[in-house]
Amino acid sequence: MELTLDRLTRQFGARIAVDRVTATLGPGVTGLLGANGAGKTTLMRMVCDVLRPTSGRICYDGQDISAMGDGYRALLGYLPQDFGYYPDFSALDFMCYMATLKGFGRRDGRRRSLRLLEEVGLAHDARRKVKTFSGGMKQRLGIAQAMINDPTILVLDEPTAGLDPKERVHFRNLIAGFAQDKVVILSTHIVSDVEFIAKRILVMRSGSFVMDGTPKQVVAQAEGKVWECHVDARRAEAMAASMVVANVRYATDGHAVVRVVAEAAPTADAHRVEPTLEDLYLHVFNDADAR
Amino acid sequence: MGTLIRYELKKILCNRAGMVACACAYLLLVGITVANILTAGIWDTQTGTYVTGMRAQEVIRHMEQGHAGVLDDARVAADMATYDEAQARWAADAERLGGMSGQQIIDEYGIEFWREVDRVRSDVYYLRLDSILTLDDKGARASSLQEGAETLTDHMLSGSYLEYFPYSDAEQGYWKAKAAQISWPLEYGYAGAWNTISSYLSFYGFVVLATCIALSGMFTGEYRDRTAAIVLPTLRGRQALPRAKVAASFAFATVYYWLSVASTAGIVLAALGPEGASLPYQVFDFQSPYPLTVGQVCGLVILLGWLVSLGCTAFTLLLSSRMRSTMPVAVVPLAIAFLGVFAELIVPLTKVAHLTPLNAFDDSFVAMASYAVGPLVLDLPSAAALLYGTLLLTCVPIATRSFTRHQVA
């Protein structure tokens, strides 16, 4: 079970959204990290065959997906970042409709729909029209439709947008359980979405992968570049304006503990700390901003 | 596939603007039909009173049934003698009678005079007989209806259609051959319901336009509402889904069209009775070259209307698959239909305008318009059938292909 991206490129006019991206993705969650506009959504669309690459190809187990056609789409579950619903459909109607599109018969589709709605916490709202749903509920419904065919390849583009912290944790657990023997690509700019469940992290910037590895390997890139220092509150504010500050924790005595991502120690008494994925993210994208 | 079609039908029925348009067109059609029957008014020759509504319909039926029978030469001559006598009696005192109302004529001249002179002079049956039999400005008359109709047809074919489109030899031959199939002498009789149905066929054009509005979002809606991103990358999203959309669209167009036809034709037939369907179409127009019965013409126009509806549906699906907003998809068929109505007033455009949705209903079997390509000649209903059949066959595959190839960008 292997999804290969081979020099995948997508151009919109003169702008290159995805630039000769190459990677081989296996079972487990692959986190795709990148700022807005990095090319994640364009890449996801090409993986889901709703956007043709300008050049390059995508293969599943060595077969070009454009030649696989329906055979490839049968393996796919996709939650787009920006998508709509049929406002006059109930949640159950919508799920049954998606089940029909994914090739299930009425009875089986309904059974799966009810189970998925239960899993995403929408069982009690199954007969409510989608137009009455909050943003978070719609997002959960989107996640449910993506998983209804038990896809071999699950592509989730910003899946946690609109979810509250409890829902995020629930979603992470759901995906972690699901991804054991599936290719899951989870695109996000929210580091905590992938920090604990991703087997592999791809960091994307300006249409290219700039980092690739396990979370540990990727985080190691920021090794020795994350510092903590104790400063007074006023100094902390000044540092936040001039440096890459990952976190400021104010103490009751007027001092602050500042977490800084920098090549060199920001203050004389600063000490190195263990980097996190978020620190790495700040390190990578601060470099890009600086350029 | 059936389940997908049901979901697509549900989407159509949830399109509020489309449903409002369909309801308005349906109510307009039913309203006009009912109003046409109930607001009819006519002088009752038996009682000398003006009657309206269903009573008027009864009087009309009675009058037409009074003319019923085979219009052979002897019968035509006798009827024209009645008409000529009425004209002569009127002419004797025309100056005075011209300024009087029907009631005043009855009061001063008596009901017999009013019945035999005023009513005969204004009876459409006699007027139409006089019109078809009159051969020239000097008042020369044909000896039979057939001679009158053939003379008029020959006169038209020797000139031009609307004095602009000359009839080619092939066209002249086509129309003459058609007219030669009419069986003379004609049988005349009452066909009130069919007359009403044929007079209001053009309103079915509004049903077609409302269908176009209702279906404008079939593909565009998926792009506009950003649902294409989730339906396209599914097992059945690129093959079965567009087919289901097409099937649901045609199912909706068909049910809505036939519901409208059944409602209006049902009301008319229930109110006025079904008799007269087997009478020759010439009872409505002595000059018509079509060798068809009244029922056949009404049936053919209704069937042609169904084809127009399906052709316009296919065209709407094509627009819907290529555009990103429903508004232009809904507006383009409306614009074509209404511009067609105005274009008919511009003589060089008339033949093309005849083929637009509203006119195709109105002009088929009425206008002697023909379309010739070398020796091949098509009359208006055939040309309209060819046009909308072609739209049906060509637009659907292009529409499904466009949707299948849609790029979510």
**ipTM (interface predicted TM):** 0.82
pLDDT score of A287:
57
What span, in angstroms and rounded, lies between the C-alpha atoms of A259 and A244? 9
Interchain pair B229, A83: CB under 8 A: yes
Closest residue in A to B407 (Cα–Cα): A51
Q: Which of B11, B12, B6, B1 is nearest to B253 (CA)?
A: B12
B188's torsion region: left (phi>0), alpha (psi -120 to 50) or beta?
Answer: beta
H/E element, B9: helix B2-13
Interchain pair A51, B408: CB under 8 A: yes
Q: Is B234 on the interface with A (CB under 8 A)?
A: yes
H/E element, A23: strand A15-25
Beta strands at A15-25 and A63-64: parallel, antiparallel or unpaired = unpaired
Which residues, in sequence order, are CB contacts of A220 under 8 Å at separation 6+?
A: A275
Identify from B14, B16, B235 which residue to disrupt to test chain A contact, counting A C-beta atoms within 10 A and taking the largest count. B235
Interchain pair B3, A100: CB under 8 A: yes
Asked if pLDDT for residue A285 goes beyond 80, the answer is: no
Of A12, A42, A49, the CB nearest to B233: A49
Of B239, B241, B407, the CB nearest to A50: B407
Asked if pLDDT for residue A87 goes beyond 90, the answer is: no
Which among A86-90, A173-177, B65-69, B312-316 has the top mean pLDDT? B312-316
Interchain pair B236, A78: CB under 8 A: no
Closest residue in B to A143 (Cα–Cα): B230
pLDDT score of A53:
93
Contact, A91 vs A122, CB < 8 A?
yes
Give A85 to chain B, closest Cα distance, Å: 6
- Please state, for a pLDDT cut of 70, what percent of chain A lies above it: 98
pLDDT score of A176:
80
pLDDT score of B374:
82
Interchain pair B228, A50: CB under 8 A: yes
Angle (nearest 5°) at CA B90 between B86 and B95: 165
Of A50, A69, A87, the CB nearest to B408: A50
Interchain pair A70, B227: CB under 8 A: no
pLDDT score of A290:
45
Termini Cα distance of chain B: 28
Interchain pair B407, A52: CB under 8 A: yes
Q: Which of A267, A271, A279, A145 is nearest to A218 (CA)?
A: A279
Give A275 to chain B, closest Cα distance, Å: 36
Interchain pair A78, B14: CB under 8 A: no
Interchain pair B226, A102: CB under 8 A: no
pLDDT score of B326:
87
Angle (nearest 5°) at CA B224 between B218 and B227: 80
Name every chain A residue with its beta carbon within 8 A of the beta carbon of B228.
50
Identify from A89, A100, A141 which residue to disrupt to test chain B contact, counting B C-beta atoms within 10 A and taking the largest count. A100
| C-alpha torsion sign, points A76, A80, A83, A84 | positive
Helix axes B16-38, B192-199, angle to 10 degrees: 140
Q: In this predicted model, what pLDDT tens digit does every residue of A236-250 receive, in sequence order? A: 888 888 888 888 888
- Please state, for a pLDDT cut of 90, what percent of chain A lies above it: 30
DSSP secondary-structure letter at B186?
P
Q: Is B155 on the interface with A (CB under 8 A)?
A: no
Asked if pLDDT for residue A289 goes beyond 70, the answer is: no
Name every chain A residue with its beta carbon within 8 A of the beta carbon of B14.
86-89
Higher local confidence (pLDDT), A225 or B394: B394
Give B316 to chain A, closest Cα distance, Å: 21
pLDDT score of A291:
44
Q: Is B236 on the interface with A (CB under 8 A)?
A: yes
Higher local confidence (pLDDT), A168 or B250: B250
Closest residue in A to B1 (Cα–Cα): A100
Interface of B with A in 84-143 (CB under 8 A): none
In order of A224, A250, A264, B75, B366, the CA distances from A228 in angstroms are 11, 13, 12, 117, 92
pLDDT score of A37:
84
C-alpha dihedral (B125, B128, B133, B135), degrees to nearest 10: 160
Arithmetic mean of pLDDT, A77-87: 87
In chain B, where the domains are located: 2-38+191-404, 42-153
Q: Which residues of chain B have pLDDT under 70?
A: none
Q: Is B14 on the interface with A (CB under 8 A)?
A: yes
Q: In this predicted model, what pLDDT tens digit does every residue of A11-41 receive, in sequence order? A: 998 899 999 999 999 888 898 988 888 899 9
Name every chain B residue with its beta carbon within 8 A of the beta carbon of A76.
233-234
Q: Is the pTM of this model over 0.90?
A: no
